[in-house]
């Protein structure tokens, strides 16, 4: 594997980035009337304006050359063909097969997986129809009003984000709840409001061994059986989503009520699979299929568009330019759309669990930075909180501003103000306010002398803060599908260029192992594990508190 940092295009990128870091973006626009148009692109209903970045034609050309030099196009072919690119787990990575049209042929180990995908989808749709039409009845014959998804990580974040984003398309007769944490407060708080007779639980776990999920599922099951009085209630009120039929059965859920998927679907890429069952239940089959179709449209764009016109590729290369060329350690995702409020949390997992790696596929340590810290929340709230740092702080924070033009529930009044703020922030960050402008403004307010001079440096905005602007016409199942797939492919491109495996997650294992050891020690004071002094003292402190609680 050629070391990325020895590629000529990599070295060129570093020197171009060092120069362009100091580009005056206002000047770049003033001297190049075609800049805004040249650096914007629309595909799958998503407009990307990337003109407010520290780039020029030469830097972009070199970034595309870098992508080609790392074999991106061949790697993309491998991804879609079902090659085992998740090398450390020996697995294909085929979330794209979950949204491929019926009739496509995508093979894993010589078997076309599309018919299996379509079968599960059809079963999910039939089940969802029954629940939505009131044909699926609880034990005492009442219809389902509340659905509780019990799952964590990839079995929670995607469905939760999508159900929030698509609330306007959701059934008014169904209330959705998502239980992820093993902090029992969450489950208790949800259950205390629910009627067991009209509640359906989805236990969502790819492995069906996840401690948090199984602990919550057992507690929910106990709550249900206690309330309804018979074990038989489980068959009417519990379904499972998993790849592990044996464990589902051992848990006591009839596998007739299980929806399966496959080990070539990564957890954080699984909302398109049976893990999307809560979404399907909520928005119905036609809308769920539109979500899949939107993602498929982005798959096609990613596969077919030349790199220079390719949304995921451009987003990925810009990210690499900032991370590796300019030392940006974080990336802000700023949606100006309330239904997208869980998108940053979702993208946090997608990106950080995929590209938070420091070892290349060949086992060698990287000598460059990889995935950044992804963070954010709805942008308009951020403006009144952390945007100060974005405007005048010392960190370089590239930003993805995500807006939606048509916001049916919002009045024109609200929407105009929201979008004005959305656009204003991108402009303010890029243009800043120069010293002369500040001085003139303060003078116009009647300030003079020392008072004016003391204020000037505090009121200067350096500007030149980069951002991408992404605009959706409407937030629909289809456009959401395209948006999520856009980020999935962005993550793929970055991982491919960095030469890392974006599809494993060994980094989460160590904490899980240690938790099992410490759990035993917390339960039994006779067990004393070998830890550092700090952890020992803390274990002792917590153990005493838990014992005290038990005695009360």
Q: Is residue 266 near ligand G6Q by the rule CB under 6 A?
A: yes
Taking the complex as a whole, the smallest distance from the CB of residue 410 to ligand G6Q amounts, in Å, to 33
Write the DSSP assignment of 56-99 as a string of letters.
-HHHHHHHHHHHHHTTHHHHHHHHHHT---BGGGTB---GGGGG
Taking the complex as a whole, the smallest distance from the CB of residue 245 to ligand G6Q amounts, in Å, to 14
Number of residues that bind ligand G6Q (CB under 6 A): 14
Give the integer Cα–Cα distance in Å for 142 and 384: 46
Which of 267, 418, 460 has the alpha carbon at shortest distance from 334? 418
Which pair of tokens denotes residue 431?
């243009």
What phi and psi values does residue 143 have, to the nearest 5 degrees? Answer: -80, 160
Active-site option among 193, 384, 458, 549: 384
364 annotated active-site: no
Give the integer Cα–Cα distance in Å for 548 and 532: 24
Q: Is residue 237 near ligand G6Q by the rule CB under 6 A?
A: no
Q: Which stretch binds ligand G6Q (CB under 6 A): 21-29, 39-47, 265-273, 403-411?
A: 265-273
Taking the complex as a whole, the smallest distance from the CB of residue 273 to ligand G6Q amounts, in Å, to 11
Residue closer to ligand G6Q, measured from CB, 62 or 213: 213
Q: Is residue 207 near ligand G6Q by the rule CB under 6 A?
A: yes
Active-site option among 42, 443, 512, 544: 512
**373 in helix, strand or coil?**
strand
Residue closer to ligand G6Q, measured from CB, 52 or 91: 91
Residue closer to ligand G6Q, measured from CB, 192 or 509: 509
Q: Which residue has the CB atom at the shortest distance from ligand G6Q?
A: 153
441 annotated active-site: no
Question: What is the CA 383 to chain-centroid distance, rounded?
Answer: 22
Give the number of other Cβ atoms within 10 Å of residue 106's Cβ. Answer: 19
Taking the complex as a whole, the smallest distance from the CB of residue 212 to ligand G6Q amounts, in Å, to 8
Taking the complex as a whole, the smallest distance from the CB of residue 357 to ligand G6Q amounts, in Å, to 13
Which of 121, 274, 126 has the alpha carbon at shortest distance from 206? 274
Give the alpha-carbon dihedral of 413, 419, 422, 423, to 10 degrees. -120
Write the DSSP assignment of 483-514 as a string of letters.
HHHHHHHHHHHHHHHHT--TT--GGGHHHHHH
Taking the complex as a whole, the smallest distance from the CB of residue 18 to ligand G6Q amounts, in Å, to 36
Alpha helices in 193-276 (DSSP H): 211-228, 233-237, 245-251
Residue closer to ligand G6Q, measured from CB, 268 or 342: 268
Residue closer to ligand G6Q, measured from CB, 152 or 233: 152
353 annotated active-site: yes
Q: Is residue 155 near ligand G6Q by the rule CB under 6 A?
A: yes
Catalytic residues: 353, 384, 512
* Chain contacts with ligand G6Q (rule: CB under 6 A): 152-155, 205-207, 210, 213, 266-268, 353, 505
């Amino acid at each position: 594997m050629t070391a990325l940092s020895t590629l000529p295009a990599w070295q060129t990128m570093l020197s171009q980035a060092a120069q362009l870091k100091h580009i005056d973006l206002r000047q770049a626009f003033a001297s190049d009337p075609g800049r805004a148009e040249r650096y914007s692109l629309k595909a799958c209903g998503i407009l990307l304006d990337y003109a407010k970045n520290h780039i020029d034609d030469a830097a972009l050309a070199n970034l595309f050359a870098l992508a080609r030099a790392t074999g991106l196009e061949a790697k993309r072919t491998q991804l879609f063909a079902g090659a085992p690119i998740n090398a450390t787990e020996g697995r294909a990575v085929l979330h794209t097969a979950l949204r491929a049209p019926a009739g496509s042929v995508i093979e894993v180990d010589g078997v076309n997986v599309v018919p299996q995908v379509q079968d599960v989808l059809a079963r999910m749709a039939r089940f969802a129809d029954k629940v939505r039409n009131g044909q699926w009845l609880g034990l005492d014959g009442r219809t389902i009003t509340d659905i509780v998804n019990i799952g964590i990580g990839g079995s929670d974040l995607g469905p939760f984000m999508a159900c929030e984003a698509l609330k306007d398309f959701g059934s008014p007769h169904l209330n959705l709840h998502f239980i992820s944490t093993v902090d029992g407060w969450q489950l208790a708080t949800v259950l205390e409001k629910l009627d067991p007779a009209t509640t359906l639980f989805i236990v969502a776990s790819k492995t069906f061994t996840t401690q948090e999920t199984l602990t919550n599922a057992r507690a929910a099951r106990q709550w249900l059986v206690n309330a309804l009085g018979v074990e038989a209630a489980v068959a009417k009120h519990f379904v499972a989503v998993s790849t592990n039929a044996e464990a589902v059965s051992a848990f006591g859920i009839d596998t007739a009520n299980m929806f399966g998927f496959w080990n070539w679907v990564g957890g954080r890429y699984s909302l398109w699979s049976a893990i999307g069952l809560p979404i399907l239940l909520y928005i119905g089959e036609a809308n769920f299929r539109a979500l899949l179709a939107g993602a498929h449209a982005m798959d096609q764009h990613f596969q077919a568009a030349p790199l220079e016109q390719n949304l995921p590729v451009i987003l990925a290369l810009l990210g690499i330019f900032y991370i590796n060329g300019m030392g940006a350690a974080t990336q802000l995702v700023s949606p100006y759309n309330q239904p997208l409020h869980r998108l940053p949390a979702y993208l946090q997992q997608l990106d950080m669990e995929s590209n938070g790696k420091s070892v290349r596929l060949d086992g060698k340590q990287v000598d460059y930075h990889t995935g950044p810290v992804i963070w954010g929340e709805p942008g308009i709230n951020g403006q009144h909180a952390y945007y100060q740092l974005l405007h005048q702080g010392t960190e370089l924070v590239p930003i993805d501003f995500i807006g939606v033009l048509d916001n049916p529930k919002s009045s024109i009044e609200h929407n105009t103000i929201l979008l004005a703020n959305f656009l204003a922030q991108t402009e303010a960050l890029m243009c800043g306010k120069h010293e002369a402008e500040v001085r003139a403004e303060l003078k116009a307010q009647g300030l003079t002398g020392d008072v004016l001079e003391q204020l000037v440096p505090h009121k200067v905005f350096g500007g030149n803060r980069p951002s991408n602007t992404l605009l959706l016409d409407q937030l629909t199942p289809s456009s959401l599908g395209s948006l999520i797939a856009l980020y999935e492919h962005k993550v793929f491109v970055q991982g491919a260029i960095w030469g890392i495996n974006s599809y494993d997650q060994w980094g989460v294992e160590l904490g899980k192992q240690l938790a099992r050891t410490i759990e035993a020690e917390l339960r039994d004071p006779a067990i004393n594990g070998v830890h550092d002094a700090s952890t020992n003292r803390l274990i002792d402190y917590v153990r005493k508190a838990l014992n005290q609680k038990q005695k009360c």
